[in-house]
Chain A
């Protein structure tokens, strides 16, 4: 800005800023009270000692953080890496990654399909994707449960067709969790890819064909690079909630195949180790934040390349 602001203008800006803040204050207070503020308490709790019957004792301790990674043998006090926790973390990351890949495989062609419909029917297809998105996640998980149970629709039909003699055990396996998560999070992949696809200019594709590109080459070299921001957004929208999933692994994993979310809950329930639960929650939060920062970087990079 070349000219300096007069005192009056400065005063006006100050007054407007104050008004804007005042208008936002009720929302901020509510969020501070019942969303953001309590997160700080979780961090504090992760540094306290565990009470005998749940809760905490107000004594500083790093035991909880130690227990996230390590475990002490109760007989000879030898310290080793905590296999149970590490394998649950590892499984959660693996399952979330596979969920993202599965959603991308089905979600990308679906978004493409919707975006290439004529404008008259496009909104109908979009609406069909939006409905599952707004319906209860628990109900959708329950619907999958009914399908894959031992006496479920899939097993019953296969058995009555004589294709199998014994029901295939699908429930309470990693497979069940994977299918369930891919099913409930699929719309989260389709919607952002569709948003990118909708603004896609098909003259680029036309140019590609004029230059004798094959369909696959057009897809790989033209379409995918341009709608990359949508693909990244969809992947992060699927990956983050998958990593924090609690309901789906609880219902479809049956408390046997735990994910981090269930491990955290366990510490506040039967485990009665609140500081450990708090430390695990902070760990999960950090992983998610790293993923989000990674996402922002990727988007900025692809905007620089194509903007």
Chain B
């Protein structure tokens, strides 16, 4: 299949061959539909009144209220602890796995390793959640440990493929010539890794860590099933609140979480586009 980009050339012709009837309209509707609900949600987080839909003037009232809510504070801290730990752990193991599975001749068991690493992407989250609920319930009765460790372990595991993919992509684009050159100049393998491979790979590692962080921060289902009572994270706290009377406090928390995701994803784009 010939795969060349000719989009630029085509535009010079009077008859646009890329045009399809109605496609632009549908696409623009699509973008509108994607953003309108989110923007409405953000808009009403600044509402002064109690009502979700009656606009009573601009205020930061609900942000203050959310900030002063002890449950929200605790959930936010817990979310951060879990997301930071999970992204560190998953990025570390994913980096090692990427080094072991990329830029190497095909070896025995390689496809099995791929399958294992990508498994969290294939199995529905609810199934994994149920599996972890059962498994951790057994461990809990045996060890008597009920801490955050379970949530950190679960989050680290399902973040592995998200951390792995950008790191692998970066490694695939690096050829071995620089490392070979360093080796020819009598650098020890460790020194080659420390001074050549790692600096080149670093943008990939950062991108992987950021994705893992966002994925962990946003998780609802697995957290909901694995957590012990009183271990709410921000998303599970919100899910619980949705059953009660909803106040714009939820909008305020959502807006903050959206802001964090947006920030991290923008950084991700900048980091992964950077070329050395």
Interface residues of A (CB under 8 A from B): 13, 16-17, 19-24, 26-28, 30-39, 41-42, 45, 55, 105-107, 109-110, 112-116, 118-119, 125, 127-132, 134-140, 142-147, 149, 151-153, 156, 183, 186-187, 190, 198-203, 205-206, 209, 215, 219, 226, 240-241, 243-244, 246-247, 250-251, 261, 264-265, 268, 274, 277-278, 281, 284-285, 288-289, 292, 306-307
Contacts and interface: CB of A to CB of B under 8 A. Distances in A.
Size category of the binding interface on chain B: 35 or more
Given A19-B100, A202-B10, A246-B125, A146 B41 contact: yes
A24 B97 contact: yes
24 contacts: A22-B100, A28-B113, A31-B117, A34-B154, A35-B157, A41-B135, A112-B20, A113-B28, A118-B7, A130-B269, A131-B265, A136-B218, A136-B235, A137-B218, A139-B38, A143-B38, A143-B254, A146-B37, A153-B53, A156-B53, A183-B37, A203-B4, A247-B239, A284-B124
Contact of B127 (A31, A129, A284): A284
Contacts of A140: 37-38
B41 A17 contact: no
Contacts of B271: none
A143 B157 contact: no
A261 B156 contact: no
B207 interface: no
Contact of A288 (B15, B37, B107, B122): B122
A138 B239 contact: yes
Contact of B7 (A30, A119, A246): A119
Contacts of A33: 153, 157
B235 A206 contact: no
A24 B100 contact: yes
A19 B23 CA distance: 51
A183 B17 contact: no
Contacts of A206: 10, 17
A244 B124 CA distance: 5
Interface stretch (B63-71, B174-182, B198-206, B256-264): B256-264
A202 B124 contact: no
B34 interface: yes
Given A38-B135, A42-B127, A246-B221, 12 more contacts: A23-B96, A34-B157, A109-B24, A112-B27, A136-B220, A149-B53, A153-B40, A203-B6, A226-B1, A240-B122, A240-B124, A243-B124
B131 A41 contact: yes
B15 A209 contact: yes
Q: Would you call the interface of chain A mostly helix, strand, loop, or mixed?
A: helix
Contacts of A240: 122, 124
A106 to B, nearest CB: 5
Contact of B18 (A31, A129, A202, A251): A202
B41 A139 contact: yes
A22 B99 CA distance: 11
Interface string B87-110: 001101110110111001101111
A146 B22 CA distance: 29
Interface centre among B96, B109, B134, B235 (most CB of A within 10 A): B134
Contact of A135 (B7, B93, B258): B258
B26 A151 contact: no
A158 to B, nearest CB: 13
B130 A281 contact: yes
Given A119-B8, A183-B33, A109 B131 contact: no
B134 A274 contact: yes
Given A26-B96, A137-B218, A240-B124, A118 B11 contact: yes
A205 B18 contact: yes
Nearest to A43: B131
Contact of A113 (B6, B23, B214): B23
Interface centre among A28, A32, A115, A139 (most CB of B within 10 A): A139
Contacts of B22: 109
Interface in B198-236: 214, 217-218, 220-221, 225, 235
